Structure 1
Amino acid sequence: MSQAKFAPHLPTSESLTVEFKSDRKRLHDDELVEALACMANSDGGELWLGVEDDGTPTGLHADHQNLIGLPGLVASRTSPSLTVAVQAAEIAGIRVACIRVSKSASEVATTSGKYLRRRIKQDGTPECVAMLPHERSSRASRFGLSDVSAQAVAGATLVDFDPLERERLRQTVQRYGGDRVLLELDDEALDGALGFTTRNDAGERVPTLTGLLVIGRETALRDLVPTHELAFQVLGSEAVRFNEFRRFPLLKAMDWLETNFRPYNPEHELQIDLFRVPVPKVDMGAFREAVANALVHRDYHRLGAVHVRLNDDGLTISNPGGLVEGVTLNNLLITEPRPRNPSLADAMKRIGLVERSGRGVDKIYRGMLRFGRPEPDYSRTDGNSVVLQLATVDADELFLRLVVEQEGRQSGELPIDSLIALSALREHKRLDAEELAGHIQRDPAQAKRTLEKLLEAGLVDAHGATRNRSYTLSVDMYRAKGDKLAYTRQVGFTHIQHPEMVLNYVRQHGRIQRSEVMELCHLDGNQAGKLLSRLYAEGRLVMHGQKKGAYYTLAV
C-alpha cells in the first residue's frame, strides 16, 4: 500500500516508536529496511524519511520522490515479508515520507540474515542493536510462539532429579488439593504427566526446564539454570532484618519462603457469628498465589531474581520479564490466561500451588479486598518486569464482617466483580455504572448488572434512574459501621426536599436549567423536568426560552 489513509503529524523527537532518517544523500535501501525490521521486532512505529535526527525536515532525495515501489522493496527484503504503510507529507513546505510499521508477532529478519531490535539508550535516545539468541527465544515466549519450559535443558540427565523433591511434590498435592491422580503414578509416569521429561534425538528421556525447576537438585539448578533465583528481604526503617537469596527447586522455595515469612505476618481472629475468621497482615492465599505466579511466569531467559520484599510500605513481589503479549494493566482481570511458560504453569496447577482456573489474579484481589484493604497495585510494571505491590494497612474489620455475613447468606464467595464494586463504593462513596466499569475492567452494561445484583441483595442503594443512576453502600451497611451520618451525606436529600434545594440554588445563582437540577438532586432528565414543571405550575418559578435552551428564575 503506497498511499495509506492516515494524516501523519511530525513528532518533536525520536523515541522507541519514532525514527528520523536523513535522505539528503539518498538513504541506502539496506539501512532503510534494517530500520523498519528493527521497529517491527520492538513495538512498531513510524519512520520519517527526509528528516534529520534533530527533527528538522530536509526533504526526500530525488530517487525517493516516487513512493509507490517502497512497500514492495521492504516486503522483498524482509523475512517474513513486512507490510508497511507509506504516506507523503508536506512539513513547512518540504516533502517528506512517513512509513508506518506494526509490531510483528514473529521475528523479522532482513534477507541478508540480520535480526535487530530497538531499544532506548541511557541518554534517552533510541538505537537498533542485534537480537541475541536468548533475546529471540525470550521474544518468542512472550508472544506464545514457543515454550522454553517444555524444552530439554542442555547437559541435564535424570540423575539431576531429587527423590526428596518427588516426595515433597506428592505431599504438596495432598496439602493443597492438587490432582490426586498424580499420587497413583510411578516416577516415570509422573514425569510424563507433568512434562518433567522429553525425548532427545536418541529416544532417551531427558529433563525439561519444568522438571528441573520443580524436582531438580539444587546443584543442578545452580549449574544448568543460572537465571533461577528467589530473594526474600525484610527491610525495617533502620535495619535489614532478613535478606537471603536461594536457588531451591520451586516447591522447596515456596515452603522456605512461607516458613520465613510467617513470623513477619502476625494475625488475630475475629468472631463472626459461630465462626472465628483469621485476620492476617497479608492474606496467605494471596501471598502464595502472587509468589507462585512470579516464579511460574517469569522470563527464564533473563538473569535476575524473583524478589519478595516486605517493608513499612507493604509487600512487593517482582519478577524479570514484563507482561506477555496481549495482557495489559487494563485487562488483567478479564483476559484469558496467557502463561509465558505453559508447561510449567500446567504442572503447578495440577500440583495445586496455583489457581487451576488460571484466574490467580482474582485470588490476589480477593485476598486484599475482602479485608477492606486497597486493591493490588501493578502500576510499576513495565516491559522488563512485573511488579506487584500489596498494602499492609490495617484491615477494615466491619467491612470484613459484612462480606463474611453476606457470603454466609448466599453459601459461597461473593463474585470478584461484586467484591471490587463494594470496595470501590467503600472508597469512593458513590459510583455509577460507567465509573465502576473501569474498576472491574468490563463494559458499563456488565457493571450495571453487578450493581443491580448488589441492590437486590440489599448491599447497595440506588439513586436516580436510567442514565444518571448512581449507587452508594446501603443504609444497613452504614448503620452496621455506625456511620449513619455518612450515608445521609452521600445520598443527599429526599424528594420532599428537592423543591427547596432547587429554589435555594436559584436564589444563589439567579437561574437554573434542567441539567443543573439533574446534577443537584441526582435525578434523571424526566424527573428533573417534572420537578421544574411543578414549581412553574405552583407559580414559584418563571420559565424562559423553549426546549433545551429553557431556564428558570424565581417568580417575583
Structure 2
Amino acid sequence: MALTPQDLFTSTEVSSVDFWDAVGKVEHERLDFKSRVPKGLSDTLAAMAMTTGGLVVIGVDDDRNISGARLEQAVYDGVMTAGHDVEVSLSTHELLVGGVPVVLIEVPAVSGRLVTTPNGRVLRRVGSSNHPLRGDALARFVRAVTLHPREDDPVPSAGASDIDLDALNQLLAAQKRPRATRRTALKSMAELGLAVDRAGNWVPTVAGVVLVGATPDAHIKGARVQFVDRQGAASRTGASRSRHTLSAPLSRLVEDLVALIENSGERHEAVVGLRREIIPVFPREVLREALLNALAHRDYQLSGGTVDVTLFADRLEVRSPGGLAGHVTLENLRDEHFSRNSRLMGALKSLELVDEFGEGVDRMYEGMAGRLLPEPTWSATDASVTVVLRSESPVSLDDQVWLSMLSATQMTADERRVLVQARHEGRVTRRSVRALLGPDVDVPALLRGMFFKALLVQVGERGGTYYELSREIVARVGSYGIAAQARRREQLVQLVQTRGRLSVAEAAEELDVPREIVKGLLVDLTSEGLIRAVGKTRARVYVPAIDPQSE
C-alpha cells in the first residue's frame, strides 16, 4: 500500500521510491522543498497556513536531489523561529530517505484568524508560489476568515433520528472510523466535528445536517435544490416542462441531481469500439463538479436561498447562494481556492468527491473541451454565483461520443477537430485542415505534433501527402460513425447466421475493415448474446447464438 505524507511522520526510514510516491516531485499548494532552512521560510509557512496547510521538506534541492538535512539544533531553531514569527504551531520529524536524512515540517491550516508575515503581509499559496493579497481581495478574505463559519452552528431541532445512518457510516468508513448505530450516531458525528456539546447533549451542526441529515431542509431553511426543466423556453420566464425539489445527504443529492438532469435531457446511445454506452448531453464528471461546487461552497448564512438548477434546450445553469468566497474572483477562480465551508470540503475530500486544491474547476474545463463543448462561463453578484454549461458544439453528438472515448489523451481543441475530420473523410491534408481551422493556425506544426502523438499517420510524400487516423486510435475507438458501426454489427450477425461459422479474418475481408475493429465488434456481439464464440485464440470462430444442429 502506498504511503501518504501523514504516514511519513510515523516512519523512521523509507526508500526513495516510497518517499517520492508519497509526496510527489511537483511542488504545489501543500508541498514545498528546501535544500536548507531559508531566511524566507516564514513566508511559506504563513501562505500555507492561510491556504490549506501543507508539508515543507528540508534537504531536497531544486533538481529533486535528496541533499540531506538533520534535525540538529540550528535547523530546529530556524524552523521554530519562523513558526514563532507567524504564530503557527509546527510539527517536525527527521526521516531517513534511502539512508539520507531529511526534515519534515507539517504546517496546519489556520482558520478564524489571520496569519501574517513578520512585515504584515497576508499571503496565499498559488501553485508553488506565495502570493500577497491586496485591495478588495484582501478585504473579502479578511471578512471570510474572521467571521464565525455558519457551518459550525448547532441545529437544535435535529437529533439522532434525523440522521441517515448509511451516509454517516460511509463518511466514517472513509476516515477509517468504527461504524455508528442510531444510539452512537451523534457521538460519532462529534468525533468528526459535525456535532457540538450543548448542555451535556450532542447537537448536529449545519455541516453535519447537510452531509448526513436524511432531509436537511426540514431543519435548515433553503438546504435543498430546486430543479426546473425549461428545455422549450429561452429564458427563466418561459413555461417549464417539470419541476423537482430535492433534499438528501449531500453526496446522494449530487448523484440524484445528475440522474435527474441526464434523464430530463437528450440521451444518445453509442456503440464505439468495444463498448455500448448511453451518453448524456453534458459530460457526467462536469455535472458532478458543477453541482458539488454549488452545494459545498454555498453561503449557509443565507438560510432561505436554495441552489437552483435550470435546464434549457441549449444550456444548463447552476446558481448557488452567496457571492464568491474569500479572495476568489471571476478572473482568478482557476488559480485560487478558498473554502467558505472548510469542514464540508474536508468531509467531501475524505469521500474522494472533491479535491481540496480546487482542481475541480480545471476538470470542468477539461471535460467540456474533451467533447468540443464551450468552456463553462461564470457570473457572480454579492448574492449568488452562477455557472453555465452550454451544449452547442462544432461537431455532432455522434462525434462527441467518439471523442469522449479519447478523454484520457491530452489534445487541443484543434487536434480534436482534425481527428473528427479524418474520421469522416478517411484522411486529411494540409489544405483541408487549413480550410477547417482558418489561416491563423500553423497547420504543418499541428500535423507534425499529431503524428508524434500517434494520433495520425503520414501517407505519401511532398504534394501527395495526406494523413489518416493512426492504428492506435482505430484500435481504441474505431474510425466509423455510430450509424455505420451499427450497420456493421447487423452485417456481422447476418454473416454468422448465413455461413454458420465466421472467423475474424473472414469477417475483416468481407466487410473490408481492419481486423482490430472486426474483432472488437464480434466480442461485443458475443457479450450481448447475439452470437457465440467457439474455440480459443487463433482457432476461434463465431457461430449463431442458437446452433440449428442442436434443435
| Higher Rg | 1
Q: TM-score, normalised by structure 1?
A: 0.46
TM-score relative to the length of structure 2: 0.46
